[in-house]
Amino acid sequence: MFEFHADRKRYFDIQVLNAEKYVIPFIEESLPINSGMRVLEIGCGEGGVLKAFVNKGCFGVGVELDEPRVIDANNFLVEDISSGKLRFVVKDIYKVNVEVDFKGLFDIIILKDVIEHIHDQAKLIGWMKKFLKPGGIVFFGFPPWYMPFGGHQQMCKSKISKLPYIHLLPRGIYKWILKKKKEPVEAMMEIRDTGISIERFEKICKKEDYKIIHYRHYLLNPIYEWKFGWKARKQGLLIKAIPFVRNFFTTCVYYIIQPNNN
């Protein structure tokens, strides 16, 4: 396992910096982010991404299923929570009561490194329209499944963590290797089952009646700047234009979508 995954405070700080330098500027190419806007993050973890929006005067609501991560968030963000700028809901997103838990609609919904973990992705993407104000948008950032570490094997403790593309082995072989290396088989296989490609994501958006208003594909994920010291690099035009093949060489994609009736 890479050490930054174990240090939750460092991971939180990285998320704040990445959101300030890359996520927010990307969104503002399509929608100015103004003080007073309401921002929802699904799968917010420790709240690092939301913190960057709160720093710009937004009000944030984070939904997170993993309670220990919200406990960390409460420790990292005491002032913002006590001032009413930020709050967290510890629930499965599918069990949220929109009126009770959200207390209003949102200008922006964020799913960063989350959609690839969600079961029934089309259901969630379609349902999110009910959370948006008129003119509201949804931001997605995710690694395509076929990219070198699309199986999140970097989270493993054995040498598997440094083996690109190993998650693309036949299901039975991959499961056998995970067992042999004493890795969390169930969790890793679940990631395999929910992984999403660029094409599948775009197809879902179209089916659920969204328009893609902005997107960017990265050869080198912006967050690698803090994890590895590598500068973010956009995907080349030729690779970006080749369906399916682009998934293998694109480590991250950013998308902004909006319901067609907005």
Angle between helices 185-194 and 171-180 (to 10 degrees): 150
Domains of the chain: residue spans and CATH: 3-147+195-259 (3.40.50.150), 153-191 (no CATH)
The model's pLDDT over 134-164, given as tens digits with 9 standing for 90+, comes to: 999 999 999 999 999 999 999 999 999 999 9
- Tokens at residue 101, please? 């838990």
What Rg do the C-alpha atoms of the chain give, in angstroms?
A: 18
C-alpha–C-alpha distance, residues 17 and 48, integer Å: 8
- Average pLDDT score over residue span 126-141: 96
C-alpha–C-alpha distance, residues 12 and 226, integer Å: 12
**Residues 207 and 124 sit within 8 Å (Cβ to Cβ):** no
* Per-residue confidence (pLDDT) for residue 5, from 0 to 100: 53
Strands 59-63 and 252-259, bridge-based pairing: unpaired
Confidence of residue 4 (pLDDT cuts 50, 70, 90): low
The percent of residues above 90 in pLDDT, for the chain, comes to: 94
The model's pLDDT over 47-105, given as tens digits with 9 standing for 90+, comes to: 999 999 999 999 999 999 999 999 999 999 999 999 999 999 999 999 998 889 999 99
Amino acid at 115: I
72 φ, ψ (degrees, to nearest 5): -60, -45
- Tokens at residue 27, please? 């969104």
* Per-residue confidence (pLDDT) for residue 64, from 0 to 100: 97
Confidence of residue 23 (pLDDT cuts 50, 70, 90): very high
Q: What does DSSP assign to residue 18? A: H
Asked whether residue 25 carries a pLDDT value surpassing 50, the answer given is yes
**Residues 109 and 136 sit within 8 Å (Cβ to Cβ):** yes
Secondary structure class of 19 (helix, strand, coil): helix
C-alpha–C-alpha distance, residues 23 and 137, integer Å: 13
* Per-residue confidence (pLDDT) for residue 1, from 0 to 100: 44
Segment (H or E) for 6: none
- Average pLDDT score over residue span 207-227: 97
- Tokens at residue 120, please? 């029934």
Nearest of 221, 208, 224 to residue 254 by alpha carbon: 221
Q: What does DSSP assign to residue 21? A: I
